[in-house]
Amino acid sequence: MKLYSVYDPEFKAYGQLPSGYDVSELLAAMARIPLPAQGVAYEPSIASLEACGVFSDLRDRGYGGMPVQLGMCWGRNTKLNCLEYHRDSEINIGTGDFILLLARQEEIENGLLDTAKVKAFRVPAGVVVEVYATTLHYAPCHTDAQAGFRVAVVLPRGTNTAKPDFPPRSDEDALMTARNKWLLAHPDSDEAKGGARVGLTGVNLDIAGEI
């Protein structure tokens, strides 16, 4: 699998690199949170991260003053497993280099997406990256198994919390697994085994051999 950089022109269809943010305090706060013993952890909102000065800047400049949450995804991972999307962009910032596996919502056909359409992008440490609302993404991948990854996740407040309770009336409704979260699972993933809708066909990509 070819590994692109977010600085490559291929990334323009998936997101952009906002500038003018001082993330030094945030990176230090993230580094103080221990890695999980195994796998990946995610918290939508972490008080110690939201206490950093850049939080208001991300809210006001990044989301035009909308209420946002600042959490983190961290651990070790090399597999695709699933892809998700939101109705809004997501901003990510890593303490170290990390890799995003991305596809586009328009590539979903009849509720399915072929994993052959997924592209891998390396994000350098400390770079602010915006992943567009129409970009499918999921847990980051590490570039160093010993170091793992710590990636800040900025989203509209309430995203990835309890799923709203309503009767599904469309195929897309069946993809919703949390608030503002629509998920396509690979049949080999734990999410699919837990009841998530299977929406990925092809190989469950693993970039372990590429890093």
As given in the structure block, the two tokens for residue 20 are 């003018």
Range of the domain at 48: 3-210
Q: Which residues pair with 152 in a beta bridge?
A: 72, 93
Per-residue pLDDT tens over the stretch 82-113: 999 999 999 999 999 999 999 999 999 999 99
Residue 177 in contact with residue 138, Cβ under 8 Å?
no
Q: Are strands 119-123 and 3-5 parallel, antiparallel or unpaired?
A: parallel
Residue carrying structure tokens 């503002």? 180
One-letter amino acid for residue 86 of the chain: H
What is the C-alpha separation between 62 and 1, in angstroms, rounded? 32
pLDDT tens, position by position, 105-137: 999 999 999 999 999 999 999 999 999 999 999
Map the chain to HEC letters: CCEEECCCHHHHHCEECCCCCCCHHHHHHHHCCCCCCCCEEEECCCHHHHCCCHHHHHHHHHCCCCCEEEEEEEECCCECCEEEECCCCEEEEECCCEEEEEEEHHHCECCEEEHHHCEEEEECCCCCEEECCCEEECCCEECCCCCCEEEEEEEECCCCCCCCCCCCCCCHHHHEEECCEEEEECCCCHHHHCCCCECEECCCCECHHHC
Query: How many structural domains does the chain have?
Result: 1
Tokens found for residue 3: 């590994």
CA–CA distances in Å: residue 140 to residues 79, 121, 168, 169, 193: 9, 10, 30, 32, 21
CATH number for position 47: 2.60.120.10
| pLDDT (tens place) for every residue of the chain, 211 residues total | 999 999 999 999 999 999 999 999 999 999 999 999 999 999 999 999 999 999 999 999 999 999 999 999 999 999 999 999 999 999 999 999 999 999 999 999 999 999 999 999 999 999 999 999 999 999 999 999 999 999 999 999 999 999 999 999 999 999 999 999 999 999 999 999 999 999 999 999 999 998 8
